[in-house]
Amino acid sequence: MFRRPAKTAPATPSAPSTPSPTDPGRVLNDLLAKPTLEGVLESTLSTAADLVGGNVKGYAVIRPGEDQIAAVLGYEHDLVGLQLGGPWSAGRARVVTDSAAELFATNPPEVRARLDVLGMRETKASLVAPLRDRNRFLGALVLDRYTGDVFTSAQLDAVSRWASSVTPLVALLESREEARALSRKLSSVFVDSIESLDFDSVGHARRVTEVAVQIGRSLNLSDRELDELWYAAMLHDLGKVHGEDGHAMIGANLLHDVPQLAGAQLGVRHHHERWDGFGEPDRLAGEEIPLAARIVAVADAFVRRGPDGLAAVSGTLLDPRIVAVVEAIPS
């Protein structure tokens, strides 16, 4: 005779567990959220802080010839890019109980002044975890405590192992950043050589690029969009190597066989379109004009005319929304 199985009480769902500081899913998500050198190092510092119990500040140092801060945790972001020496130069994992003295002794007065403003002279102890890729010393993670607690050997070991596991990714991104910096430097030098043919144009592309990137940041463009905008602004007058007439189209044609600059090419081609549709080469109007081209047009006019010269051409020659953005940028 068939018997029904006895009913059992449904299992009580267990409370979701809290991810550990090194939960693989969370860590991978954090690392890939900002796939740039600075973004990855920020996430690396955050996890390192979790490993020592938080309540720390920190920074990552990368050595592209000169040691410089590449990311920060808890400190002011304007420290990024600062060149300085410190307790990581030996290239080994260590806990430094007099790290402030060592940090201040190895830097010039102007750097010490900046560190003083941030209160870094009050650091009680620092943990240094090197970033080593095989035999190459890339830099270090530095965590600072401002309380009396000293970092333990177990914490030093945990952060050092974490730094070692992330270093291959840091090395890959650093190589990409170096290639990107070289590409930009070569572009700038090439444009400088073109501008040197006309003394009045020297430095024009650099100034337009600075303004364009400021506008792009104010519009919250992505890193990829800012990169395309940088090239569009730096190369916007590239076609002038063949003269003034039709230089926007000529410049775009010169970039035709560089697929990596496809977005910048559109910015170059259309930076002489007009908001009212009476520009060149395609008589595009309004938001038909690529955003990078509209930004470059405003930045170019800003450099040529000054901030007071934009109002007269806003809404006819230039996108009025972008004119409002550049007018609001502090000088």
116, 254: one domain: no
Residues 214 and 308 in one domain: yes
Q: For position 174, what pLDDT does the model report?
A: 77
Claim to verify: residue 152 and residue 229 sit in the same structural domain? no
Tell me what the mean pLDDT of segment 156-181 comes to.
84
**For the chain, what's the residue count?**
331
pLDDT at 5: 44
Query: Do 38 and 174 reside in the same domain of the chain?
Result: yes
Number of domains in the chain: 2
* CATH number assigned to the domain comprising residue 56: 3.30.450.40
Domain presence at residue 205: yes
Split at pLDDT 50, 70, 90, the class of 26 is low
Q: Please tell me whether residues 206 and 233 are part of one structural domain.
A: yes
Last residue of a domain, one of 113, 146, 178: 178
153, 211: one domain? no
Domain boundary among 117, 150, 178: 178
Does 14 reside within a domain?
no
**For residue range 56-68, what is the model confidence (pLDDT) as tens digits?**
999 999 986 679 9
In this prediction, residue 33 carries a pLDDT of 54
Write the DSSP assignment of 52-108 as a string of letters.
TTS--EEEEEE-SSS-EEEEEESS-GGGTT-B---TTTT-S-EEETTHHHHHHHTS-
Structure pTM? 0.58
Q: Which residues of 94-123 are buried (b: 16+ CB within 10 A; e: fewer)?
A: bbbeebbebbbeebeeebbeebeebebeeb
Q: Are 303 and 208 within 8 A, CB to CB?
A: yes
Which is nearest to 224 in space by CA: 300, 291, 287, 157? 291
Q: What is the pLDDT of residues 219-253, one digit of tens each?
A: 999 888 999 999 999 999 988 877 888 999 999 99
Residue 16 lies in a domain: no
Structural domain including 243 reads 196-328
- Domain assignment of residue 149, yes or no: yes
Side chain identity at residue 236, one-letter code: H
Half-sphere exposure of 240 (CA within 13 A, CB side): 20
Question: How would residue 34 be classed by pLDDT, with cut points 50, 70 and 90?
Answer: low
78 pLDDT band, cuts 50/70/90, is confident
Give 23's pLDDT tier (boundaries 50, 70, 90).
low
Q: Is the pLDDT of residue 298 over 90?
A: yes
Strands 57-62 and 125-133, bridge-based pairing: unpaired
Report if residue 134 sits inside a domain: yes
Asked whether residue 153 falls in the same domain as residue 272, the answer is no
Same domain, 164 and 28: yes
End position of a domain, from candidates 178, 204, 234: 178
pLDDT score of 131 more than 80: yes
Mean pLDDT of the chain: 85
